[in-house]
A and B are shown apart, each in its own frame.
Chain A
């Protein structure tokens, strides 16, 4: 699903927000010296993607979108940190990605100024009252996970409030894009969030293709979908094991991690890489699995489905496990809609959001994806959506292997001199979006958006009233990306 920018005035900027179904992304651009600053927003309206672009001239303020979409707050704070464009009248203007440690201020300006690099204290919101105390956690966590800081305000074991502080893995990805050749930059896109490498590489390449007026051949589109569904299955297997483990069912981790390992070994054989990095390329795909491998991939699905069904019965009938899962970390459908929850977590809270279903393209139009939704919005619901999606992805993979169209797997893709396009792909976590602006045959701005932006703030709500020891379980049930968010 792709879109081109639509230039609007300030009234049009507000009108677009008022009439959109949901806000996907918001970012700033510095087009000086040829143009001025701009604010951009990506929406979904009636299943279609929309890109609105507001010219800010030499100034740098745009109408605040957080009154329409609460999850715009952090994106607006990040847009200020990176480009220096400000949301007028926003209630929260604390820095977000910029912790003070960077070597430059407003690093995405073409004339970014040096900064002193001295980390600053962050003003967390204080909860006061008798018996309230704070538990600071991170950025280095007790496990093999990414870094971030969580500030809990608790009474006894009960969480009154959680405040996240992210940005620790910010490594300057968006500026790095402007230094790379557009065709080469797909490798960087595949390393924004390693667990979603196929989704990011696909979204980037599709944006580049849309900007160039090129379309990947049908066989390539189907192979991309094959890789994307394999990525979804691999991540769901990993999460299902980890969720069992976080609720003290170690046998769940042992078996799901075994299944994930055999799955990754097949990816190594058929796609040349255990995570399928660098498989998607501009114009198509960089390699293709042989006939023997396609048969093996389809056979794997039958074996895996049998095993996962057995493990699901084990999970469903384990009273101790269900006791930890059910009603824990609940996000009601109403809250999910209000806060803009997206992707897998939204589907577990009754929101039928899935780009593969809303606007199916290529193989998804031919195969028809059955959406997996639950209404309880608790850890159990997010576990059940994962189980259902594993089975649906296995069905899709088998169908793709059986019905893969013939023909070439790559079309020539010449980089246009000046163009812009955005594209979105339904990754395993939710919609991954890439907006690309080319000028003089180079990347002027590449904005990448992870669904974690929408879902991190909702996690703060999901833990309210739960006990501190359930936080790791609730957090894992969302399994949000730090790197994809921090960039």
Chain B
């Protein structure tokens, strides 16, 4: 136990200031959190769905939870069921084998629901495109509110995309 306490004491807090959606003035993390609360009345619950990605985007979405970006410190968290979610974070070109599962997940999210497409494949099909096995971009299957390009987009861009989606609902 003392080793864990020692680690905490030595490391301190690494969390960096939260980013802001593009073309908007700088705000502090506290204001973003207030905004999330104003829009949704509580913390933002996110459900991640890999609809056929190469897993590169998953690595960067996981990174959003590390101490540097500290997603949970902004009042957001990943939840285990779409029924608990306000927002879907979808990656990958939508494989035909995942099309039905993605639709069902989307249907299970209560209204009002937001969808953020993460990564080049989710935005426009990416290098995989449309084929016998791929339906291409996420918007071909479910409605998308915000797209975050990149292969994969770095954690800051992912965070920006989530914040942009929350603001759109105001």
User: Given contacts A144-B78, A146-B53, A257-B65, is CB(A168)–CB(B132) below 8 Å?
Assistant: no
Which of B20-28, B99-107, B162-170 is the interface stretch?
Answer: B99-107
Residues of B within 8 A of A151 (CB): none
Q: How far is the CB of A255 from chain B (nearest CB, A)?
A: 7
Residues of A within 8 A of B132 (CB): 102-104, 107, 112, 115, 172, 175
Residues of B within 8 A of A292 (CB): none
0 or 1 for each of B130-157: is its CB under 8 Å from A? (1 = yes): 0111100000000000000001101000
Q: How far is the CB of A28 from chain B (nearest CB, A)?
A: 16
0 or 1 for each of B20-56: is its CB under 8 Å from A? (1 = yes): 0000000000000000000000000000111111111
Residues of B within 8 A of A260 (CB): 63, 66
**A206 an interface residue at 8 Å Cβ cutoff?**
no
User: Given contacts A119-B100, A482-B55, is CB(A257)–CB(B133) below 8 Å?
Assistant: no
**A275 an interface residue at 8 Å Cβ cutoff?**
yes
Residues of A within 8 A of B48 (CB): 143-144
Could you tell me the distance between the alpha carbons of A268 and B153 in the complex, rounded to whole angstroms?
Answer: 12
**A169 close to B56 (CB less than 8 A):** no
Could you tell me the distance between the alpha carbons of A115 and B133 in the complex, rounded to whole angstroms?
Answer: 11
Which of A193-201, A365-373, A401-409 is the interface stretch?
Answer: A193-201
Residues of B within 8 A of A238 (CB): 59, 62
0 or 1 for each of B107-148: is its CB under 8 Å from A? (1 = yes): 000000000000000000011110111100000000000000
Could you tell me the distance between the alpha carbons of A469 and B47 in the complex, rounded to whole angstroms?
Answer: 21
**B52 close to A171 (CB less than 8 A):** yes
Residues of B within 8 A of A173 (CB): 128
Q: How far is the CB of A109 from chain B (nearest CB, A)?
A: 11
Residues of A within 8 A of B134 (CB): 171-172
Q: How far is the CB of A96 from chain B (nearest CB, A)?
A: 11
Could you tell me the distance between the alpha carbons of A173 and B68 in the complex, rounded to whole angstroms?
Answer: 34
**A169 close to B7 (CB less than 8 A):** no
**A191 close to B62 (CB less than 8 A):** no
Closest to B131 in A: A172
**B98 close to A168 (CB less than 8 A):** yes
**B97 close to A101 (CB less than 8 A):** yes
Q: How far is the CB of B102 from chain A (nearest CB, A)?
A: 8
**A171 close to B7 (CB less than 8 A):** no
**A483 close to B55 (CB less than 8 A):** yes
**B4 close to A314 (CB less than 8 A):** yes
Chain A residues 223 to 257 lying within 8 A of chain B, measured CB to CB, are 238, 251, 254-255, 257
**A194 close to B59 (CB less than 8 A):** yes
Closest to A187 in B: B127
**B4 close to A143 (CB less than 8 A):** no
Residues of B within 8 A of A422 (CB): none
Closest 8 CB pairs of A and B: A194-B56, A142-B80, A172-B133, A257-B66, A103-B132, A172-B131, A101-B96, A104-B132
B interface residues, Cβ below 8 angstroms from A: 3-4, 7-8, 11, 14, 48-63, 65-68, 78, 80-82, 92-93, 95-102, 105, 126-129, 131-134, 151-152, 154
Task: Beyond A147-B98, A194-B55, list 6 extra A-B contacts (CB 8 Å).
Answer: A140-B82, A169-B52, A170-B95, A238-B59, A251-B7, A483-B52
20 examples of A-B residue contacts, CB within 8 angstroms = A99-B97, A102-B132, A140-B82, A143-B48, A145-B50, A146-B50, A147-B101, A168-B98, A169-B50, A169-B53, A169-B98, A171-B133, A172-B132, A172-B134, A175-B133, A176-B127, A191-B54, A260-B66, A275-B56, A310-B7
